[in-house]
Amino acid sequence: MGIALILTLVGVLLLAAIIVFVVISTYNGLVRLRNAYKNAFAQIDVQLTRRHDLIPNLVETAKGYMQHERETLEGVISARSGAVDAQEQARNNPGDPNAMQELSGAENMLTQSLGKLFALSESYPDLKANQNMMQLSEELTSTENRVAFARQSFNDAVMAYNNKREAFPGSLIAGTFGFEAAALLEVDDPGKREAPEVSF
């Protein structure tokens, strides 16, 4: 009887140790993956900030040539302002579904506004030939590519986190410790976010 009791006690302790190990391991894995997607968003944040910083210079350069296109220029400035605000909200809570949706919408609006600006600039040969405008356009296109790459990295990190969060035993641990689902940063037309068309 004494040996059976000891073996039962050892078995229970071993099972408890395994459960504690699984809980700790799963919890730490969720923390690592959450930090990974937050870090990935920080890379998006850097590129969006760069993008947003280029736009006032672009508008200022265009303003000298496009006096009659005030509505378009104001549209770009307004869209930039909305994108900066949405970026700030997303920066404070990367992965939050509402913040990601707002950011996606604001960035899409900015991209459309920039597209209109570049389409109109085709009508102004002196603007097309302006060295500053050409350089800013090139930097903006390069930044758009970096944003797309950073967004893909972020979405991959979010997917890994959500997979861990939803799979067993992660789903139990996530629910117990408040690990919320993270949202992807998507564009309106998946796979079709393109840099504004620039041809100088």
Q: pLDDT value at position 11?
A: 96
pLDDT in tens, 181-196: 999 998 765 344 455 5
d(CA 17, CA 6): 16
Nearest Cα neighbor of 117 from 61, 174, 187 is: 61
Report pLDDT for 170: 96
Q: Is 113 helix (H, G, I), strand (E, B) or coil?
A: helix
pTM, two decimals, is 0.85
Query: Looking at residue 191, what is its pLDDT?
Result: 42
Q: Return the closest-CA partner of residue 165 out of 41, 36, 31, 40.
A: 31
Nearest to 100 by CA among 30, 166, 41, 164: 41
Q: Which CATH number among 1.20.1440.20, 3.90.1150.150, 1.10.357.10, 2.60.120.10 corresponds to the domain 23-177?
A: 1.20.1440.20
Note the pLDDT of residue 29. Answer: 97
DSSP characters for 118-133?
HHHHTT-HHHHH-HHH
Q: Break the chain into its structural domains and give their ranges.
A: 23-177
Using 50 as the pLDDT threshold, list the residues of the chain that sit under it. Answer: 190-193, 200
Cα–chain-centroid distance for residue 71? Answer: 29
* pLDDT value of position 152: 96
